[in-house]
Amino acid sequence: MIAGVYILIGIAAAVANVDLPFAMQSTMVIVAIVLSAIILASQDKSNAKEVYFCVAIWSPIVAVLIGFAASQSINSTTEHVSIVNDSLIALHLILLLLFVIWHDAEKRRIYIHYAQFDKETALPNKFALFGALAKLEEQNKPHTLLLFKPLILPSIRLNFGLTFANQHISKLFKEVHEQINTYGSAAVANKGDTHIYRLEDQVFAIVLDGKIEVSQVEQYVCILSSVFEEGVWYKDTKIVDSLDVGVANYPMHAKTTEKLVQRALQALNTKTHNGQRWHLFDVESSMSSERQLKLTSFLKSAIEQEQFSLFFQPQVDLKTGRVFGSEVLIRWLQPDLGYIPPDEFIPIAESSGQIYEITEWVVEQALKYQAQITKQIPEHVISINVSGRDLSRRELSVQLITLINELSLAPSQIMIEITESVTIGNETELKGMLDDYRSIGVKVAIDDFGTGYSSLAYLSKLGFDELKIDKSFVMDIETSKSNQTICKATCDMAHSLGSKVVAEGVEDINSYIRLQAYGCDYAQGYFISRPLPFNEFLSWLEKVNSASDIKSFLIR
């Protein structure tokens, strides 16, 4: 192209010696050729720059040559100069316009590129992935979407920086490509598209084209996992990673591209069990996930619409046979879904940040009920479960102080229950929080003891007033020698540390009597009473108060 321009420039200059009008025509021909050259070259950045350089250098020379040639046949010097100047100005304006056009085309090319590719990793991005999936969907071709998430990528970014993290992930993906190209054909007859796409910040994708068996998916997962688990060296540190993987198939799990990606994401976020790091989309898991989403939404209005209520399960003093207190249990009656058990909605409330409002409501209602109960049983102790997320909130202790004063309650008859898992962590910080509650005068109990990893010696440093043996150790105490040993040892050790013991899950008279023999302080369970709504609980209290020993009342 450039050589052709040079030749035409020479011809035009030579011909211009003959006739000025023809020289001007030659100039315009050259400009037209240059224009065509630059427009064509705008598709190729390097060629476009070469063309522009040539034109920028030679255009003044062309104009001068044409002007000089014209001067040999025309006598008017002023006219010659005017023609030369006009030619120079016109040509440079054209060149400037062409450069602007080329630069705009280059920007468009860059925009188009980054619309399809990730800037940080240079991988095809979300839009490229959806385009590839949509094309397969249009062709109605079976395909499998495999999503995976490197688990320590955030840690790599934090410790080594974003630049290194991107280089690290790109290096691993290059190795993944090589492994897939080497071994992938053995796993899938028609592996099709083996690009790695970046769907989200930490989520990447591979599309497997064609029908595929579960065993073949496992081979692909093994290829991916082996590359990440092999690790790479960075200075003196070997960076080893692992993956979570989610898989969904078209048309088995979804009929549209959007639904396929959704299903694969649901599989990716399935909780890992027994070390299994990849999950095929499962309808039951999907329904569970959708239910959780509904519950999260419904929780927002549950308090306003008065869908929550409190039930009371009595606790009996095993020494006196009298009612000692009760544990407050929250219940949720959702109009569309019916009763929702606490062990289902409390974790959702904690993860969504709605637990604080629920706890405040429970504490306020429970203490108002306590004010009524103590009129009937003055020594009644009310136990309230508090989430570990609420424990450190200053607002909770302020609320307790306010309600205790307003309702004229004895703080020593209020027991805050926390689960054993909450105690695992910073001992100093936790002790400080518990001391804040004890300074108010309220007592603190550890719930579900035996299900975690805390020792009694560790718990003694935290100074719990009460320890509740988990019902899993109590319900089959009559048939399990190991559970008998655990319950007896727990009672002895807790007493030696100055704590009272409550046994949960007392289901029959034999368990009741055995726990009495072990020196257990209090019992709670269906043998005594199921959890009762407040008014039924008050009626139950009236009946049992007439009996000298609740045991005789219960076995009638």
Residues 24-43: tens digit of each pLDDT = 555 555 555 555 555 555 54
Chain Cα centroid distance, residue 90: 61
On the question of pLDDT at 326 being above 70, the answer is: yes
255 class by beta-carbon count within 10 Å (0-12 exposed, 13-18 middle, 19+ buried): exposed
Window from 2-11, 282-291, 403-412 with minimum mean pLDDT:
2-11
Question: Cα separation of 248 and 524, whole Å?
Answer: 47
Window from 43-47, 267-271, 330-334 with minimum mean pLDDT:
43-47
Dihedral angle, C-alpha 507, 338, 372, 447, nearest 10 °: 50
Q: Does domain 126-281 have CATH number 3.30.56.10?
A: no
Most confident of 68-72, 301-305, 412-416: 412-416
On the question of pLDDT at 55 being above 70, the answer is: no
The confidence score (pLDDT) of residue 524 equals 96
Question: Cα separation of 196 and 172, whole Å?
Answer: 11
The confidence score (pLDDT) of residue 409 equals 96
Find where tokens 């726990």 sit. Answer: 515
On the question of pLDDT at 285 being above 90, the answer is: no
Split at pLDDT 50, 70, 90, the class of 492 is very high
Window from 32-46, 272-286, 453-467 with minimum mean pLDDT:
32-46
Q: Tell me what the pLDDT averaged over the chain comes to.
A: 78
Q: Report angle CA 269, 271, 276 to the nearest 5 degrees.
A: 105
The confidence score (pLDDT) of residue 209 equals 84
pLDDT tens-digit map of 122-161: 788 888 889 889 999 898 888 889 898 888 888 888 888 8
The confidence score (pLDDT) of residue 113 equals 58
- 392-414 burial: b if 16+ Cβ within 10 Å, else e: ebeebbebbeebbeeeebebebb
Amino acid at 448: D
Split at pLDDT 50, 70, 90, the class of 108 is low
Amino acid at 10: G
Chain Cα centroid distance, residue 435: 35
Domain ranges of the chain: 2-116, 126-281, 291-554
Question: Cα separation of 462 and 420, whole Å?
Answer: 12
The confidence score (pLDDT) of residue 2 equals 47
Q: Which of 475, 478, 489 is nearest to 527 (CA)?
A: 475
Window from 73-82, 153-162, 226-235, 248-257 with minimum mean pLDDT:
73-82
Fold match, 126-281 / 291-554: no
What's the rounded mean pLDDT across residues 73-99?
54
Q: Is residue 438 a contact partner of residue 463, using CB atoms and an 8 Å limit? A: yes
On the question of pLDDT at 74 being above 50, the answer is: no
DSSP secondary structure string for all residues of 403-424: HHHHHT--GGGEEEEEEGGGGS
pLDDT tens-digit map of 395-407: 999 999 999 999 9
DSSP secondary structure string for all residues of 14-64: HHTTT-HHHHHHHHHHHHHHHHHHHHHHTTSHHHHHHHHHHHHHHHHHHHH
Split at pLDDT 50, 70, 90, the class of 550 is confident
Q: Are strands 532-533 and 522-524 parallel, antiparallel or unpaired?
A: unpaired
CATH of domain 291-554: 3.20.20.450
Distances (CA, A) of 241 to 280, 454, 548: 21, 30, 65
The secondary structure element, H or E, covering residue 456 is helix 456-462
On the question of pLDDT at 65 being above 70, the answer is: no
Partners of residue 331 on adjacent β-strands? 309
The secondary structure element, H or E, covering residue 102 is helix 77-116
The confidence score (pLDDT) of residue 391 equals 82
Question: Would you state the structure tokens that stand for residue 257, as one six-digit string?
Answer: 């591209």
The confidence score (pLDDT) of residue 368 equals 97
- Measured in Å, how far apart are the chain's first and last C-alpha atoms? 109
pTM over 0.75: no
- Which pairs from 477-486 meet CB under 8 Å and 24+ separation? 477/511, 477/514, 477/515, 478/508, 478/510, 478/511, 478/514, 484/514, 486/450
Window from 117-126, 372-381, 477-486 with minimum mean pLDDT:
117-126
What's the rounded mean pLDDT across residues 11-26?
50
Q: Is residue 396 a contact partner of residue 388, using CB atoms and an 8 Å limit? A: no
The confidence score (pLDDT) of residue 323 equals 93
On the question of pLDDT at 220 being above 70, the answer is: yes
Split at pLDDT 50, 70, 90, the class of 208 is confident
Find where tokens 């072990």 sit. Answer: 518
Split at pLDDT 50, 70, 90, the class of 1 is very low
Question: What 3-state class would DSSP assign to 475?
Answer: coil
The confidence score (pLDDT) of residue 98 equals 58
The CA radius of gyration of the chain, in Å to the nearest whole number, is 40
Distances (CA, A) of 485 to 174, 455, 457, 504: 58, 16, 18, 16
Most confident of 84-88, 167-171, 424-428: 167-171
Question: What 3-state class would DSSP assign to 289?
Answer: helix
What's the rounded mean pLDDT across residues 358-387?
95
Bigger pLDDT: 314 vs 114? 314
What's the rounded mean pLDDT across residues 201-219?
82
378 class by beta-carbon count within 10 Å (0-12 exposed, 13-18 middle, 19+ buried): exposed
On the question of pLDDT at 165 being above 90, the answer is: no
The secondary structure element, H or E, covering residue 469 is strand 466-469
Percent of the chain whose pLDDT exceeds 70: 70
What's the rounded mean pLDDT across residues 249-256?
87
On the question of pLDDT at 318 being above 90, the answer is: yes
Split at pLDDT 50, 70, 90, the class of 331 is very high
Bigger pLDDT: 524 vs 181? 524
Bigger pLDDT: 19 vs 235? 235
Question: Would you state the structure tokens that stand for residue 308, as one six-digit string?
Answer: 């929550």
